[in-house]
Amino acid sequence: MHTIDANGARIPALGLGTWTLEGEGCANLVAHALEVGYRHLDTAAMYANEEAVGDGLRRSGVARDDVFVTTKVWWTDLGADDLRRSAETSLEKLGLDQVDLLLIHWPNPAVPLDETIAALNNARTDGLARHIGVSNFPTKLLAEAIALSDAPLVANQVEHHPYLDQSKVHAACREAGMAMTSYCPLARGGDLFAERVIVEAAGKHGRTPGQIVLRWHLQQDGIVAIPRTTKRERLAENFAIFDFALTDAEMQAISSLGATNMRICDYDFSPSWDSH
């Protein structure tokens, strides 16, 4: 398994995104993913599926310590007491003593960042999380969070796919020794998979468009990708990306789609994003 070393964390470069997965279906899919070889699960308090993710982990028979589990604290819970309660509830639901990575899901300007970052550090010091990080932090906020944190932040999870150039956030993460985790790594499928550069690379390598896009993520420095699927057969497809390589020309051609500048996850509570 290809892993990313980030400020003391060793993060499996391909994880399973679990947003929208629920109940038995989620538990079965998580268990199957671990059987296929996944060793990284991404959940969040907001996904309301932490019990199912924990069930899937236990059902798989894979040792707890062999799996990297990430959860996140929702942006309405960033006060010190709320963050603590959220992290404790997540552990209870997951049935775990500790997560590998605890993230702030989205920033919240109504709560002082120093209070949130101190609470995140306390969660780590008290053993609720092995590592801490953030999500949806543009470069300016990321720099503030890094400066405020006693323990190094290990990852910034952001929307990233060929239709969205995130080179500024990526450079900031690498400069700080952090991983950048790509969410919506497939841009949710659709039009992207019909792009000529993707289709041509798929033909040349004998791979599917999804595999080409995931390979593009993993061939970049310090990038982790967490694709989601609701289909068992696609778990193996999305995992079979470690035995081929895109050429530099293919990497560049796919990256040039970033000029599209398409952002999928943009809400009224989103921060002010980096310009392109």
Q: How far is CA 8 from CA 62, 83, 148, 171, 265, in A?
A: 23, 23, 18, 19, 29
- Closest to ligand NAP by CB, 188 vs 204, is 188
Q: How far is CA 20 from CA 42, 53, 225, 227, 230, in A?
A: 12, 12, 17, 12, 9
Residue 238 makes contact with ligand NAP by CB under 6 A:
yes
Query: Using CB under 6 A, which of the segments 16-24, 76-84, 142-150, 267-275 binds ligand NAP?
Result: 16-24
Instruction: Considering only residues 247 through 266, tell me which ones interact with ligand NAP, judged by CB under 6 A.
Output: 265
Instruction: Considering only residues 109 through 128, tell me which ones interact with ligand NAP, judged by CB under 6 A.
Output: none
Instruction: Considering only residues 172 through 201, tell me which ones interact with ligand NAP, judged by CB under 6 A.
Output: 183-189
Binding track over 130-169 against ligand NAP, x by CB under 6 A: -----xx--------------------x------------
Residue 49 makes contact with ligand NAP by CB under 6 A:
no
Residue 18 makes contact with ligand NAP by CB under 6 A:
yes
- Closest to ligand NAP by CB, 42 vs 195, is 42
Using the Cα atoms of residue 160, residue 165, residue 168 and residue 172 in order, give the sign of their dihedral. positive
For residue 38, indicate whether it is catalytic: no
Catalytic residue (choose from 47, 163, 183, 267)? 47
Does residue 96 contact residue 51 with C-beta atoms inside 8 Å? no
The beta-strand segments (E) located in the chain are 3-6, 9-12, 16-17, 40-42, 68-73, 99-104, 129-135, 153-159, 179-183, 223-225
Instruction: Indicate which residues carry an active-site annotation.
Output: 47
